[in-house]
Amino acid sequence: MRLFFFVSLLLITGNIFSQQNYLFLNNTEISRYENILYANPNIHTSIKPYLYKDIKTVIDSFNKTDTLKNVIKTINIINIKSKNLNLSVKPILSAGSNFNLHDFYFYTNYGTSLNSSIGKRVNININFFNNTYSFSDETRKFIDSTLIIPHNGTFNSNKQNRYTFLTATGYISYSPSQYFNFQLGRDKNFLGDGYRSLQLSDNSNYNPFLKGSVKVWKVKYTIIYSLLKDVNTNINYKNLEKKYNVIHYLSWNINKRLNFNLFETVVWNNGDSAYTRGYDVNYLNPIIFFRPVEYSVGSPDNVLMGGGLKLRIFKNAHIYGQFILDEFKLAEIKAKSGWWANKYGYNFGLKAFDFLNIKNLYVQTEYNYTRPFIYSHTTSLECYGSYSQPMAHPLGANFTEIIAIARYNTPRIIFETKVLQAKYGTNKDSINIGQNIHLPNDVNTNIYGNYTHQGNLHTSLITEINISYLLNRDMPFYFNFGVRNYYLTTDKGKQKTTMILIGFKTNLYNYNDIY
């Protein structure tokens, strides 16, 4: 059976460029041509993953200057090229470990990736890979309480801290004209120019979705209909149930320097044992505002709104920001009463390419802030989360975070250092202080006197130095080596952990192992 499964994977998987394919959502890969992206005023950089036809000029420009030869030969399990059909099948392989003198954690991924273009309007991508991971004690506490692998979904087995699970992603992309694209699949999306997103990130599991986008003039409008699964904390923390989500996102490149964008989303549950609600047709209209619809149908759904901007302040420097709003009352804000339902967050940051006139030196700084209880709702099946994890920032709510990144790219090697400092509060006794977005926000909650960092204060500092060596640009396959220091201060004391990071990775997705 296992042999049949593996052979089946080999027969249906790969990776080539076509007009309608989406590039993989991986920060290391994006960093290789990100400076060209941000120099082009016609590209909507906050909508990821990127549709190839939207950034074709950037990729073509990058490929003309990138003459690097592969250290390891490209492996094509299948490679067919004809007038109306291109089909490529390539392997996926990653293996590595994080370790020190006291602890040893490892990961392996193996599988295949298919990419096929049919004519000029259709692209199909399918990725299957099997995973085996071991985790720290802190991560295992989360897994044991939720039966969820962080940034993924459920697992198949666990034997002596060897968690195995299968990942299956893919999509069909269709562009009926140069203005429209439709994508049906199971994958992740990201909205924002920052390292973090307070609107939609790749923190949670892969979800089924239908995405439509239209790009006319300087405007790109995207709508995403998603099917989510989450725990019902009112019944059982380990019981996954359906819920639904719609996102509207409008990006406008006002001029060569300024981009402005608007965001709105709604989450609703599937009903209960007495009533199955399903996908609410009131939210199918692609050009409506959710809040009036919510009021008109008397729904208890969770609606969030926000906006963002990106401004080029110098030739190679950009500032950006996001704002997210759940609920608020202006009178309560003026009163400075700490009302629990004043729920909002924001981030802002700076990206600079060729910093200090040093070619290929990139620096980024970012600040993130959220109030307690943002993203939460009356039950976990209306919160802005999926598979027991936030769909925006991995810390959930009730936190501040400062990030600094420096990266130097050569054609073969990427040197990167990160510093992430965060403060957040967790539940104290039986009081819900608003950090865990999956807890009901109307139970065991203080109505007034709420403030960011309330509860048991945690202060964390992560420093990381990483070197990535490109072995094959077509797959793409890297060797990575790094050192990570983790410092945590709580009311129980201080702890420090230093880990060596080493491994080989096929960079299809981000490896979200921080937080």
Q: What does the pLDDT average to over 449-467? A: 97
For the chain, the domain total comes to: 1
Question: Does residue 126 lie within any of the structural domains?
Answer: yes
Between 16 and 333, residue with greater pLDDT: 333
In a domain, 515, yes or no: no
Q: Mean pLDDT of all residues in the chain?
A: 91
Residue 514 lies in a domain: no
Tell me the pLDDT tens digit for each residue of 345-359.
Answer: 999 999 999 999 999
Cα distance between residue 190 and residue 193, in whole Å: 9
pLDDT at res. 297: 59
CA distance 496 to 515: 15
For residue 495, being part of any structural domain is answered with yes
158-188 per-position pLDDT tens digit: 988 999 999 999 999 999 999 999 999 999 9
Q: Measured between alpha carbons, how far is 264 from 268 in angstroms, rounded to an integer?
A: 14
Residue (of 231, 280, 263, 483) closest to 379 by Cα position: 231
DSSP secondary structure, 180-249, as one string: EEEEEEEE--EESSSSS-SSB-S-S--EEEEEEEEEETTEEEEEEEEEEEEEETTTEEEEEEEEEEEEEE
**Burial per residue of 121-142, b for 16 or more beta-carbon CB atoms within 10 angstroms, e otherwise:** ebbbbbbbbbbbbbbeeebeee
pLDDT tens-digit readout, 114-128: 999 999 999 999 999
Encoded tokens for 356? 């200090």
Please tell me which residue, 384 or 234, carries the higher pLDDT value.
384
What's the CA gap between 165 and 423, in Å, rounded? 32
pLDDT (tens digit, 9 = 90+) per residue, 85-99? Answer: 999 999 999 999 999
User: Cβ neighbours of residue 33 under 8 Å, at least 6 residues apart?
Assistant: 58, 59, 62
Q: Of the given ranges (3-12, 134-143, 311-320), which has the lowest mean pLDDT? A: 3-12
| Cα(498)–Cα(495) distance, integer angstroms | 10
Q: Is 372 exposed, middle or buried (0-12, 13-18, 19+ CB in 10 A)?
A: buried
Q: Is residue 511 part of a domain?
A: no
| CA separation for the pair 515, 509 (Å, rounded) | 17
In angstroms, the Cα distances linking 194 to 31, 292, 370 are 13, 30, 15
Whether pLDDT at 3 is above 80? no
d(CA 4, CA 398): 48
Task: Mark residue 56 as left, alpha or beta (left: phi above 0; alpha: psi -120 to 50; beta: remaining).
Answer: alpha
CATH number of the domain encompassing residue 37: 2.40.160.130
Q: What is the pLDDT of residues 357-399, one digit of tens each?
A: 999 999 999 999 999 999 999 999 999 999 999 999 999 999 9
Residue 512 falls inside a structural domain? no
Q: Which residues contact 144 (CB under 8 A, 6 or more apart)?
A: none
**Is residue 440 reached through a cis peptide bond, with omega within 30 degrees of 0 on the bond before it?**
no
Strand, coil or helix: 501: strand
Whole-number Å distance between alpha carbons of 420 and 196 = 11
CA distance linking residue 108 with residue 504, whole number of Å: 9
Instruction: Using the CB atoms, write b or e for 455-477: b if 16+ within 10 Å.
Output: bbebebebbbebebebbbbebbb
β pairing state of 47-48 and 78-81: unpaired
CA distance linking residue 498 with residue 461, whole number of Å: 12
Within 10 angstroms of residue 506's Cβ, the number of other Cβ atoms is: 24
Please give the residue range of the domain that contains residue 454: 2-506
pTM of the predicted protein model:
0.93
Q: Is 165 left (phi over 0), alpha (psi -120 to 50) or beta?
A: beta
Which percentage of the chain shows pLDDT scores above 90? 75
